[in-house]
Structure 1
């Protein structure tokens, strides 16, 4: 694993890594991680794919891990449009990868928040990548999205973009544990593997209370994904693989990825498929059946590299 840094078009410094296979490189996978975590949580997954001949790149999104603006806390992305700033940061990394490896296919693996960034990415940047994997995602805006936009906007007007609100966090995640019994922790909805949940809780770079501006920009960005004109801009030749657990609240317990699959098929995308893992929760890469999940991803990549 090699650590490096790059700058966005706005001059923000991004912390990144790459995992280089020892032999011939089959293709490249760029990882886009989720909210309130960091790229090194994907180290095991990246090492597995690297051992199979894939060159892996990934970065800490703005406001996450070691990609923090000077003087800012975790979760503060930027002063105006954090969602699209993260999308642009992903595009900058793709450009770096393409400059270094002009003849290799680039696939993007994206999870949770990262998957919503990726959904926006393929609407704006039509021909940058050669395939997309969406994990722990959804194809319909959350019911409370407009309420979240209004409430977060009000709080920011009164107290600024750096204000933190447990009310906003509860609106976003408060119901995620409701179907789990018995409840052991606030983050049981992430995985059935208690060790993985505990690792998340014990990680100082995970599970923090983010500022209101993060949620506001995320809500606005998630709403923008569903603009019909932008959806039509997605390449019909882009292979897309969607998956989540049947007990994943982010994916509306499986309904969300079915909806997203149907949207992409309606658009005329030729190679789109989904898989629902029975009993799985939000982080399928950290689930009790994670080897099955990773092998399914590998098989999908092998068929399209």
Structure 2
């Protein structure tokens, strides 16, 4: 274990699981890094029945608590190793909440496939999901999912394999794997969406970030064709948010033409090389 360079804790995104990060695990484990992941509750590889996958009942915050507790376990398990957090998509928002507790202890955060606050969309999502939760309780809220991903493929040109998930990656095989996996792309309950939008609307509270360690290394990465990051605009807004709060070690990179899942993109080796270099500097 002494030859290991450090620990990377992955916080995954919506409607997916550990298997979506196989390229990430392989690349970094081959280069003497320890890669760990605690999958979220009510997700496919948690061995729950198909009927329960995605069905939250006022326990969204447990996902955040689980990641915080997992970091504590990693600190006990690897007391002499630096710990880095890699948060993707929904996991990138959870990582930034996680940051409010660990800005002194964690060596750095990678915020991947993220965005700064979208007040109109997030408030609309909160109002609609709250209404649906009162009416349908814990039924799946497909209308909210459609709202979230309404324009995801808007700028994606069709090819010989094109479907509703094409916005995820230019790698057709990765899009196929996601589309054919019953533990990916599922619709959550209205309770999940309600709590998710409440969480998002509170996330970027300047006062909570103001008191954090301003020397904390933060790397923000996204594809220039990622709809979640508003094709780079929301990503640059996020970079400015941290810089305005006087965080001193902020790096941001947009990968030309890449889409949402950088770790499953056709240029993933380039992305991994950049992440490795960033680790080595921090």
Question: Structure 2: which 5+ residue stretches go unaligned?
Answer: none
Give distance in 1, aligned partners of 2:232 and 2:149: 17
Bigger helix share: 2
Do the aligned partners of 1:134 and 1:240 also contact (CA within 8 Å) in 2? yes
Cα–Cα, structure 1 residues 170 and 176, in superposed 2: closer, same or farther, change >3 Å?
A: same
SS in structure 2 at match of 1:207: coil
Q: TM-score, normalised by structure 1?
A: 0.87
Question: Does structure 1 residue 63 correspond to structure 2 residue 39?
Answer: no
Q: Deviations over 1:253-304 (max 9, x none)?
A: 0011111111111111111110001101101111111111111111111112
Question: Does structure 1 residue 89 correspond to structure 2 residue 66?
Answer: yes
Match of 2:239 in 1: 261
SS in structure 2 at match of 1:44: helix
Alignment coverage as a number of residue pairs: 280
Match of 1:42 in 2: 21
Cα–Cα, structure 1 residues 266 and 68, in superposed 2: closer, same or farther, change >3 Å?
A: farther
Decide which moves more: 102-111 or 56-65.
56-65
Give distance in 2, aligned partners of 1:229 and 1:135: 23
Give distance in 2, aligned partners of 1:253 and 1:143: 18
Aligned counterpart in structure 2 of residue 190 of structure 1, from 168, 177, 181: 168
Question: Does structure 1 residue 174 correspond to structure 2 residue 153?
Answer: no
Alpha-carbon deviation of 1:65? 2.7
User: In angstroms, what is the RMSD of aligned CA positions?
Assistant: 1.7
Give distance in 1, aligned partners of 2:104 and 2:54: 30
Q: Deviations over 1:153-209 (max 9, x none)?
A: 11111221x111221111111111111222720111001111110010111110112
Give distance in 2, aligned partners of 1:71 and 1:251: 30
Do the aligned partners of 1:62 and 1:68 also contact (CA within 8 Å) in 2? no
Match of 1:202 in 2: 180
1:130-169 aligned at under 5 Å gives the runs 130-141=107-118, 143-160=120-137, 162-169=138-145
Question: Structure 1: which 5+ residue stretches go unaligned?
Answer: 1-20
Bigger strand share: 1
Q: Deviations over 1:116-141 (max 9, x none)?
A: 00111112443341100011001222
Aligned counterpart in structure 1 of residue 77 of structure 2, from 96, 100, 103: 100
Do the aligned partners of 2:23 and 2:263 also contact (CA within 8 Å) in 1? no
Do the aligned partners of 2:58 and 2:192 also contact (CA within 8 Å) in 1? no
Give distance in 2, aligned partners of 1:128 and 1:299: 21
